[in-house]
Chains A and B, each alone.
Chain A
């Protein structure tokens, strides 16, 4: 851009305008919001505005720097004077009147304009720079138009509030003003008076078209600048949003907003251009929705009652029928109230509808409240977590309870691919088994969050089960799952294992999720999984979950989890932070080494696990705290895993997990024949973790007797809370060294015994699993037949 010479008046005027538009004081003005309003207020045809934008270089930069802004203003003046737009004209045209902006929305602006215009031939033609926010409502409109009609001088009264608010609320009014402006191309300096209110009001529709044109202009120029602080309804369409409501203004308006303003805003938005995923909520939009939600319901985890929502959305001036349909779509749980997710979805739909998009018949995936299911299913008041989730609309976890069902589903899958860790870890979408799995399990478990996957699978199932349990419990909450998974994996290796487990658990979760019947978006599930993974790392069990030592009783599991804690505590010495940070991280399963077979299947998990296990054994013996665990080390890996799983569960703070794990563990034990054997073989080194992993329920109690278990018992109480557990573990640590010597032998003996029991149980388990599978298949076939026979399938 060539140098721009401005007269003093111009300089002053421009700088005022710039600061007016530079809401954020960033010295550069994004191409939207006030700038747009300003330009529309200039009453220039849209293509002229576009041209100006191009000329001043804003399109190149994507925003208006001060110089660009000044150039643009100068060009506006040029255009308004009727001169052709040329870059050279910036400086060549002398005695240009100051650019006129109609619809004095801003008192200040108008005042400025007045002052500026004092030395220009355009008297009066300067009206407020920005049209008063339409938000003022119909009444205001009248006043506004009145203002615009009159030269700025008279603008003041009208805009009393508008000037102040206008920047915020400009969007609503802008369409109006645009329209006017468009109608009255700024030719002469003076006349301006926007042809009276008539054209101004006339139609929103016209305004919209004008605004849309403007939008188009803007969009053409720059990528839809992130709405500065608002998520205009038309957010989704990047372009259209330009002028659409400023979130701030909208917010203000929500309280004051009249239908009129809403309409205008909506209309503007309607012009929005297309976007890739019409139903995707951008971050700005989301932020805007959240802010709007807050105005109604300060608690982000709370609900908006139907009546409040009705009032709010009625302001958008959509027909009641459409609003009713939007409600039907967005009230996912049909409770007559809107959670944050539901509200955002509803708001988004309203915005889309305002922009001319037809309402879908069913809620698009990206708008589905993903967390809601999770939280419901998880049955954990993890509101914050949900909010966090909801924060990423793009995640669009498929269906509501992606992780949960996926977990359930993956189990069956896991069952089938006994040795194939990969199947689990990869999100294979083989959900057939899953479905049957689910049907079996769902009713059984009172805990909605956790459904004990009836392991149809064979040996590997144990690991999977552990994972699944973890997943179930923590499906929604990344952490929970991970911890659970981690627990079963390797308690001993805590830190390292945790990390590895995390990975493993992640895999398992993925596997589960993939098999999720929803499979709406495996990646999403995976993402969920990955989240979980991060927390707890998929327990190595996933790959080849050592048949969870039959968790005989919850207490046992607790103890095992306690072990975990202890192991964590022990290792915390080395990695306190790590352990604590990932309580859920399943203590590195000693099994990792055991399950080399499965490990290979499981991509990273296995590696991680293996490393963990390798490390854990070392760690365990080293640390006095672990002494106990090491004693139990010998326990079949499955046992360990189970314990780990138990511990992990505890860490996961998900009691249900324990429950789940118990049955799962028992099942796992039975099933994972091969695994158990493997584990027993490898568990020795890796038993670090709790060691007292009772393979079978019977052995478990026995093991409990072990001192270490005694030590664990005190911690049992706290298993519910990982911190508590950790504390207990730490507390018990001192006692561990004492008993180490005595326990060692006893532990080793018990380990041997348990291992044997483990193998036996594992065999039994596998046989039972087979039977179970057969029965399930029969059942499914019968159900299918029944379905076919039934003429009407209801509810």
Chain B
């Protein structure tokens, strides 16, 4: 279960960001922001090869004391960043991948909506629901 999920556009501005309500959201926003550098670093590192050869799932971007940040980038340079609680050891890499896959699918559905202009903030309820389902269940 993630504590924060963010969708960053190609130009590195957020399209969607949501944190677990109990936490200090600003902290997560900052973490996501700093993780963008790491994402760019990883992209450029693999950037030699063509984009399609690049793995979408970036893996653990960087760990902090309390949290781990995972990254995922699409072929259109839309980045998904996920912050998970370090104490949540049950989360395996496989599950993180599946979470990102789910995010990607939902994002694609949002894109398919003709009323959505790429670059707008994502306000889709379906997307929101999906993200909420992945967040830490806090009461």
Residue of B nearest to A792 (CB): B95
Kindly specify which of B31-39, B63-71, B72-80, B120-128 makes contact with the partner chain. B120-128
Interface of B: prevailing SS: helix
Residue of A nearest to B125 (CB): A325
B93-129, CB < 8 A from A:
95, 98-99, 101-102, 105, 108-110, 112-116, 123-126, 129
Q: With contacts A320-B115, A336-B112, A791-B91 known, is A325 near B124, CB below 8 A? A: yes
The CA-CA distance from A341 to B63 in the complex, in Å, is: 48
The CA-CA distance from A795 to B125 in the complex, in Å, is: 17
Set of chain A residues within 8 Å of B3, measured between Cβ atoms:
none
Q: With contacts A320-B115, A324-B124 known, is A791 near B99, CB below 8 A? A: no
Q: How many of A's residues come within 8 Å of B, CB to CB?
A: 24
Provide the A759-795 mask, 1 if CB < 8 A to any CB of B, else 0: 0000000000000000000000000000000111011
Answer whether residue B20 sits at the interface, using C-beta atoms and an 8 A cutoff. Answer: no
Residue of B nearest to A314 (CB): B115
Set of chain B residues within 8 Å of A331, measured between Cβ atoms:
112-113
Q: With contacts A321-B123, A324-B123, A324-B124 known, is A791 near B115, CB below 8 A? A: no
The CA-CA distance from A614 to B63 in the complex, in Å, is: 77
Answer whether residue A323 sits at the interface, using C-beta atoms and an 8 A cutoff. Answer: yes
Interface size class of B (residues with CB under 8 A): 20 to 34
Residue of A nearest to B99 (CB): A794
Set of chain B residues within 8 Å of A335, measured between Cβ atoms:
112
The CA-CA distance from A335 to B109 in the complex, in Å, is: 8
Set of chain B residues within 8 Å of A361, measured between Cβ atoms:
125, 129
Answer whether residue A223 sits at the interface, using C-beta atoms and an 8 A cutoff. Answer: no
The CA-CA distance from A310 to B113 in the complex, in Å, is: 9
Set of chain B residues within 8 Å of A790, measured between Cβ atoms:
95
Contact B102 A334 (CB under 8 A): no
Provide the A372-413 mask, 1 if CB < 8 A to any CB of B, else 0: 000000000000000000000000000000000000000000
Provide the B80-93 mask, 1 if CB < 8 A to any CB of A, else 0: 00000000101100
A314-368, CB < 8 A from B:
314, 320-321, 323-325, 327-328, 331, 334-336, 361
Answer whether residue A573 sits at the interface, using C-beta atoms and an 8 A cutoff. Answer: no
Residue of B nearest to A311 (CB): B114
Nearest CB in chain A: distance from B111 CB, A = 8
Contact B99 A792 (CB under 8 A): yes
Contact B114 A309 (CB under 8 A): yes
Residue of A nearest to B114 (CB): A306
Set of chain B residues within 8 Å of A794, measured between Cβ atoms:
95, 98-99, 101-102
Contact of B113 among A306, A314, A791, A792 (CB under 8 A): A306
Residue of B nearest to A338 (CB): B114
The CA-CA distance from A320 to B126 in the complex, in Å, is: 15
Q: With contacts A321-B123, A328-B109, A334-B109 known, is A792 near B98, CB below 8 A? A: yes
Set of chain B residues within 8 Å of A309, measured between Cβ atoms:
114
Contact A306 B105 (CB under 8 A): no
Residue of B nearest to A318 (CB): B115
The CA-CA distance from A305 to B114 in the complex, in Å, is: 9
Set of chain B residues within 8 Å of A795, measured between Cβ atoms:
98, 101-102, 105
Set of chain A residues within 8 Å of B15, measured between Cβ atoms:
none
Residue of B nearest to A793 (CB): B98
Set of chain B residues within 8 Å of A26, measured between Cβ atoms:
none
Residue of B nearest to A323 (CB): B115
Answer whether residue B1 sits at the interface, using C-beta atoms and an 8 A cutoff. Answer: yes
Answer whether residue A25 sits at the interface, using C-beta atoms and an 8 A cutoff. Answer: no
Residue of A nearest to B109 (CB): A334
Set of chain B residues within 8 Å of A305, measured between Cβ atoms:
114
Q: With contacts A324-B123, A328-B124, A328-B126 known, is A792 near B112, CB below 8 A? A: no
Nearest CB in chain A: distance from B38 CB, A = 23
Chain A CB within 10 A, most for which of B90, B98, B110, B115: B115
Contact B112 A334 (CB under 8 A): yes
Answer whether residue B134 sits at the interface, using C-beta atoms and an 8 A cutoff. Answer: yes
The CA-CA distance from A324 to B121 in the complex, in Å, is: 12
Set of chain B residues within 8 Å of A336, measured between Cβ atoms:
112-114
Set of chain B residues within 8 Å of A314, measured between Cβ atoms:
115
Residue of B nearest to A327 (CB): B113
Set of chain A residues within 8 Å of B105, measured between Cβ atoms:
795
Q: Given known contacts A792-B99, A795-B105, what 9 new A-B pairs fall within 8 Å (CB)?
A: A306-B113, A324-B123, A325-B124, A327-B113, A328-B126, A334-B108, A335-B112, A336-B113, A794-B99
**Listed A/B pairs (5) with beta-carbon separation below 8 Å:** A306-B113, A310-B114, A328-B109, A336-B112, A792-B134
The 9 closest A-B pairs by CB, nearest first: A306-B114, A794-B98, A310-B114, A324-B115, A336-B112, A791-B90, A323-B115, A327-B113, A792-B95
